[in-house]
Structure 1
């Protein structure tokens, strides 16, 4: 059966419903540190070391966050600095970004204008945005006369309006840069950012700024600031100002403090007055090696700065009265960018805990990191995710961007690898699962799925490199390779790993394309899609002028004033694709006919006024088909993915619409089925079905049989019910049906 644009519009008009009012959006303060291993905080090992009388690092404020929030014990980032920042900001893992290593050229190319980064998303959502610290992209590495190398890669080109940062990671290999990049900037500044002296002189002599840990009022404090002191004071100004503004206007803020601490060089901290004051009462500290003392002092200095930021949330105007506290609705995140390096921090303080390896390696010690989150209004003693507890859910650094987007009430960037954990944090909505996470390092690549971790050792030019398999539940130290006893699992995980493009040559990344074809044009033809080219300063880093492929992030969007139709004429694969229209008078429809398979490896998204009609074809994704408000999925065929319905699903035709995994509805979702004579058509779900929306009958006739059940949904397990009043539904001919449920079936019974 073919479906006309008119019929789709009638369906949209019939089923349109207002969305639920969003909950109050939290402020977000993200504390991101450099080279701090998983075991470097109290709850991950340092408290136990203290109890045993062993050398330990003092992090009282981070530990307090863990006591008041949640410590995620299986959190991951990347193996080194630059990839972690790229994956953090973009939501893509290393197989889909330029920055899969600490390439010196990353500053010129890692962030593109088309990439929607954290700052872009939060600024677009109405947040006031700030970034302080190690950014690492867009500037040159010259210490004395750095310049902007790529405007596309600057934080100011990606939504951050308040900035004090370092734009090249090599230039961040000292803590005494003579200048730092700042915004807002003078009007003619390239990229909206300019250099200012690295100084904290303006904070000297002011009672508004605590003297510890910086000792900025000490006569021996250097004229060129220790850069993390400068970053911390700038962040403190931002938090105080915007906390007060939040109380006045309700406008939330997003601030990210990305310290250079505790990255090397360690010895530079010893140039500061009273640099080891936090350990002056610790006689054992004086017996440690100079490097161990310096590393510990760096960590505790950073922790003290964090404490001042937390105090600013409690008392924004510093008057001693905490009635203006905004801490309750502020999500605070602490995280490291990779595992701790070797040297004294590892040997003296056991900074990576019992984990194997360290910074730069694919083993757990290189990629598992400390992650703590506190949000008092949502994480407390009575919430599902309880304060003071640990959580063993796997959380990757790519998950933070979609989490912030969902909390801010804005869609995540299309086809990213990260998965939001906002429902887990808030206790509201359905928490989507992430089947696996991917990492690359100098010595290999890995895929982690559940308790299993497959490691593909890096052997240049050899795709059949040695494979190792570990059970992290019973062997988190990765000592026992069990690959030989699980050959089928190894084969399956290896195929998934290679499918994530980790084996591609240097310079590979996903590409962005949009539809430029005429009405009725075919999807497979390259001329119907925009070409892609990423260039800077006369150098083209990546180009793609062919047809759709698995690296594409693609948008089919109708920007016109009349309806538009696109047809899939052959099997096609994308990383992800989205369909959207500009209005109910200008919808965009994609039609998939019998025998055609359309793949969005990470996702298929139907957004507002975007319609997808399946005439016996197949949609497939490793994750989901996502129907957002105003989107319609209609027809019959097969969906080889989970189906998330926050719009409209209309199952029509003589055979069911099959869903191979799970089906989820929101309160605003609508499911339409048809009943004609003895035949009913609906959903056949092979996983579980979570019901919460409204059921409608789009088509029926008067020949239905009274008291005869018509099955309209089957699933392996059904949870919830439709929200129809009195569990009744009426068709267009005023025939009333009652809705009946079993554990695996929903049926309609005509009522006289």
Structure 2
């Protein structure tokens, strides 16, 4: 993809954002009806902190048994006031976790699928839409502090920028204090850190500054836990102290700005604690003072004591920042608190490593495996969320409770996008949990999550986990009954094993290093064919003359593909042969009211593995073919799906579905059908066969319209079944429960548990 096409990709997302924000201004009912103010989003991200390292997952139980335990009072309070997601997942190691977090793509699709020495040069691409991009474009003030891990060299003394397109400042983050290479983050005493905004013109908007706590001494900053005012505090700061104080400054300043202007903020504090090296903390003044009254502490191994002190130190920093939400101007008066409408998220990037701390403090909470492994101890992580305005004792997800909902690191980007009113990037693997947090709207179902590690790959679907290891038989575990993965039940469920392995391999986990999704734009003329490679942009990811990956030819499963009409005239594209992509978006030119049609020929299969998205003034016409996704087809307001054929997907209709199969069922939908209150469903009556058959649930609202087939005349007193489903909820909003057919016939709409019928008046 050329730089021009990269620019076009970003402009497409920004144009969509403007459309969404415009809808919020004019009050589009389905998008923003009764929407609360957009929340501030504050994210605490730690490094190598195992699932069992917080009170509600393991440490409180250890304390109750009078066993040694790690102290995290602020995180435990966060859990008590929010939700503890007991099935939160990260990745197996640092680099892919950060890439998946920011881009919403899992390891089968993100460019940084493992810890590669070159990841710092190439992990996040210019085309990738990150959390920083999305929230900055949505009007948030953004900040990032800590281990970014990409874009800079690992030289300790004189690091340089190696790839501008992968920097935090190139992806929406305005205020930055960060480390740009994960190897350089293998000490807590880097002499310099990267900072933005830069005081002078610089590459990527970043400059190197001394890693120092000097500006935080003898001022209105808490002296605990850093003890920065102590004469023995080192000149070169313990970097997580510097990161935490920069975040504290940001929250205070932006909290006051939020109170004055209503502009929300997003801050991400991605600390290195409790990653090795552990011993460096012991060079700080009173480094383990938090455990001075613990009778067990001195009997623990040095590594365990150092690890515990690191965890408790960063917990105290989190407490200082949380206090700033309650008192942004730091005057002791909490009447200016912004805590209620701030979503606070805490998560670790991966599980805890092996070592004495895991043995003596059960840092992974009894889960099998450790960091770097595909077992639960390597990938399941602590995950907390607090949002007092929405998560309460009365909300659906109740404050102070544990939740067994599976939440993957890739889910955070789409969640933040939805809460901020920003478009979710196309084709990503993550699924927004915003409806669950809000207690309203349709929570979309995530069928499975996948992970890669040095010792294999896994897929988790509900309670079952399939593990595929190199040169080893497939293993299947029931995580509900066997959390420690000790009982392989693969032999008892051969069909399930086969099904899960097919899904897992379809997520491209077995591809070589450097494989990733690619971005492509339609360039074809009116009526052109999608199978012709000349009608699509090529993709190339390069930096400083080095080409990391290229992708050309006809559409394939790794593509994130967009067909957009930028002219002032209607345009069509012909799906003339089977087409399979990761994500597909079709959009017309809403400004010029110029439609973009995608026409699917007979017996042709169109697959958008993760999603198919029909934007305003887009039409997908199915002429007897098959449209499939593993997830959903989204029809936005002004979009149309029409014709006849098979739909293997969940449909979310905020536009129009027109089923026009004469003398046959027009659409067979293998999935659910959801219709919003602004949408329309137009069904054809041609006999006794229903126009639409839904194998799943049909959730009805909006309008129903009826077209009468040629040469067919409805008879008075006769009833016709027009829609069947496994379960029907809701009703169409037609006045008086009636609908007038295209020939003037009047019908009364009737509902049963599994059918919609029309009775001729």
- The TM-score range, normalised by the shorter chain, is over 0.9
Name the residue aligned to 1:531: 538
Q: Note the C-alpha offset of 1:681.
A: 6.1
Q: Note the C-alpha offset of 1:18.
A: 5.8
2:247 counterpart SS class: helix
2:600 counterpart SS class: strand
- Whole-angstrom distance in 1 between the partners of 2:165 and 2:55: 39
CA spacing shift, 1:593–1:681, aligned 2, 3 Å: farther
**Contact 1:679–1:710, Cα closer than 8 Å, also in 2:** yes
Match of 1:631 among 639, 652, 669: 639
**Contact 1:17–1:668, Cα closer than 8 Å, also in 2:** no
1:639 counterpart SS class: strand
- Whole-angstrom distance in 2 between the partners of 1:736 and 1:312: 63
**Contact 2:708–2:743, Cα closer than 8 Å, also in 1:** no
Is 1:38 aligned to residue 51 of structure 2?
Answer: yes
Out of 632-641 and 359-368, give the one that drifted further: 632-641
Name the residue aligned to 1:117: 130
Is 1:511 aligned to residue 554 of structure 2?
Answer: no
2:160 counterpart SS class: coil
Name the residue aligned to 2:18: none
Q: Deviations over 1:705-729 (max 9, x none)?
A: 3332232211010011122333233
Name the residue aligned to 1:102: 115
Name the residue aligned to 1:716: 726
- Whole-angstrom distance in 2 between the partners of 1:301 and 1:608: 51
**Contact 2:690–2:724, Cα closer than 8 Å, also in 1:** no
Match of 2:562 among 537, 555, 572: 555
- Whole-angstrom distance in 1 between the partners of 2:637 and 2:345: 30
Instruction: Write the mapping of 1:635-674 to structure 2, written as runs, cut at 5 A.
Output: 635-654=643-662, 655=664, 656-674=666-684
**Contact 2:685–2:691, Cα closer than 8 Å, also in 1:** no
Match of 1:68 among 81, 89, 92: 81
Name the residue aligned to 1:409: 421
Is 1:127 aligned to residue 140 of structure 2?
Answer: yes
Q: Deviations over 1:408-449 (max 9, x none)?
A: 112211111111111111111111111111001111111111
- Whole-angstrom distance in 2 between the partners of 1:47 and 1:378: 26
Q: Note the C-alpha offset of 1:251.
A: 1.4
Match of 1:591 among 592, 596, 599: 599
Out of 300-309 and 655-664, give the one that drifted further: 655-664
Q: Note the C-alpha offset of 1:69.
A: 0.7
1:743 counterpart SS class: coil
**Contact 2:608–2:628, Cα closer than 8 Å, also in 1:** yes
**Contact 2:38–2:419, Cα closer than 8 Å, also in 1:** yes
Q: Note the C-alpha offset of 1:115.
A: 0.5
Name the residue aligned to 1:197: 210
2:681 counterpart SS class: strand
2:256 counterpart SS class: helix
**Contact 1:673–1:680, Cα closer than 8 Å, also in 2:** no
Q: Deviations over 1:620-650 (max 9, x none)?
A: 1111111122221111111011111122212
**Contact 1:674–1:680, Cα closer than 8 Å, also in 2:** no
Is 1:435 aligned to residue 447 of structure 2?
Answer: yes
- Whole-angstrom distance in 2 between the partners of 1:737 and 1:187: 72
Is 1:454 aligned to residue 457 of structure 2?
Answer: no
Q: Note the C-alpha offset of 1:683.
A: 2.0
**Contact 2:533–2:555, Cα closer than 8 Å, also in 1:** yes
RMSD: 1.7
Name the residue aligned to 1:9: none
Is 1:611 aligned to residue 619 of structure 2?
Answer: yes
Is 1:371 aligned to residue 379 of structure 2?
Answer: no
- Whole-angstrom distance in 2 between the partners of 1:378 and 1:18: 20
**Contact 2:669–2:695, Cα closer than 8 Å, also in 1:** yes
CA spacing shift, 1:182–1:651, aligned 2, 3 Å: same
Is 1:485 aligned to residue 497 of structure 2?
Answer: no
- Whole-angstrom distance in 1 between the partners of 2:334 and 2:523: 56
Is 1:164 aligned to residue 177 of structure 2?
Answer: yes
1:47 counterpart SS class: helix
1:260 counterpart SS class: coil
Is 1:747 aligned to residue 760 of structure 2?
Answer: no
Query: Tell me, which stretches of 5 or more residues in structure 1 are unaligned?
Result: 1-15, 460-464
Match of 1:257 among 269, 272, 275: 269
**Contact 1:652–1:681, Cα closer than 8 Å, also in 2:** no
Name the residue aligned to 1:726: 736
Q: Deviations over 1:228-273 (max 9, x none)?
A: 1111111111111111211222211111110100000011111111
Out of 465-474 and 359-368, give the one that drifted further: 465-474
- Whole-angstrom distance in 1 between the partners of 2:45 and 2:70: 18
**Contact 2:143–2:173, Cα closer than 8 Å, also in 1:** yes
Out of 174-183 and 702-711, give the one that drifted further: 702-711
**Contact 1:568–1:592, Cα closer than 8 Å, also in 2:** yes
Q: Note the C-alpha offset of 1:699.
A: 5.8
1:111 counterpart SS class: coil
Instruction: Write the mapping of 1:334-483 to structure 2, written as runs, cut at 5 A.
Output: 334-459=346-471, 465-483=472-490
Instruction: Write the mapping of 1:162-311 to structure 2, written as runs, cut at 5 A.
Output: 162-206=175-219, 208-311=220-323
- Whole-angstrom distance in 2 between the partners of 1:516 and 1:385: 46
1:605 counterpart SS class: strand
Q: Note the C-alpha offset of 1:537.
A: 1.2
Is 1:580 aligned to residue 592 of structure 2?
Answer: no
Name the residue aligned to 1:11: none
Q: Note the C-alpha offset of 1:328.
A: 1.2
Q: Deviations over 1:572-631 (max 9, x none)?
A: 111111101122522211001211110111111111222111111110111111112222
**Contact 1:651–1:681, Cα closer than 8 Å, also in 2:** no
**Contact 2:680–2:702, Cα closer than 8 Å, also in 1:** yes
- Whole-angstrom distance in 2 between the partners of 1:69 and 1:436: 25
Q: Note the C-alpha offset of 1:563.
A: 1.0
1:261 counterpart SS class: coil
Q: Note the C-alpha offset of 1:277.
A: 1.5
2:658 counterpart SS class: strand
- Whole-angstrom distance in 1 between the partners of 2:331 and 2:691: 62
Q: Deviations over 1:294-315 (max 9, x none)?
A: 1101000100111111111111
Q: Note the C-alpha offset of 1:559.
A: 1.1
Query: Tell me, which stretches of 5 or more residues in structure 2 are unaligned?
Result: 1-26
- Whole-angstrom distance in 1 between the partners of 2:51 and 2:481: 18
1:686 counterpart SS class: strand
For these two proteins, the number of residue pairs brought into alignment is 729
